[in-house]
């Protein structure tokens, strides 16, 4: 399984960015995928994740109403994280992660359940 991320960058507070993650190697939609982030000195946290079989996203409280996780209508096994109303506290390295559904047992967006990780992309929000 490979995950290829794109997007990220520098944006002013209140702005928007879109991250994309293309997964390859899954032979069915029986897997979970999502985004995690890690800011300097902080633990990695689950931002938004979903099982591809039901596409019902989970959102961390800190991003509810601002971020949207969706799967692509055109590109198979590709998900997008649309981030609106960005705040300086959203500054972090964002990682795409995925795992077979059977391995996701602690919760849909718990990092320790995810076996495959992208390289990470920096998101910086200036005030």
Predicted local confidence at residue 63, as pLDDT = 98
Helix (H) or strand (E) holding 17: strand 17-24
And the tokens for 47? 């931002």
Residue-averaged pLDDT of the chain: 95
- Give the DSSP per-residue string, 56-116: --EE-TTTTTTEEEEE-SSSTTEEEEEE-S--GGG-EEEEEEEEEGGG--S-TT-GGG--E
When pLDDT is averaged across residues 35-43 and rounded to a whole number, the result is 96
- At 54-93, the pLDDT tens digits run 879 999 999 999 999 999 887 789 999 999 999 999 999 9
The pLDDT assigned to 55 comes to: 75
Write the pLDDT tens digit of every residue in 18-29. Answer: 999 999 999 888
Confidence at residue 18, expressed as pLDDT on a 0 to 100 scale: 98
């Amino acid at each position: 399984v490979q995950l290829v991320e794109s997007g990220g960058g520098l944006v002013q507070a209140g702005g928007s960015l879109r991250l994309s993650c293309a997964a390859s190697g899954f032979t069915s939609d029986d897997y979970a995928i999502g985004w995690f982030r890690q800011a300097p000195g902080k633990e990695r946290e689950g931002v938004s994740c979903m099982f591809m079989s039901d596409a019902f996203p989970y959102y961390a409280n800190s991003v509810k109403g601002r971020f949207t996780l969706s799967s692509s209508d055109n590109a198979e096994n590709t998900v997008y994280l649309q981030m609106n109303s960005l705040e300086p506290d959203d500054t972090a390295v964002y990682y795409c992660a995925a795992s077979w559904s059977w391995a996701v047992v602690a919760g849909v967006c718990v990092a320790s359940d995810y076996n495959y990780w992208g390289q990470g992309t920096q998101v910086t929000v200036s005030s």
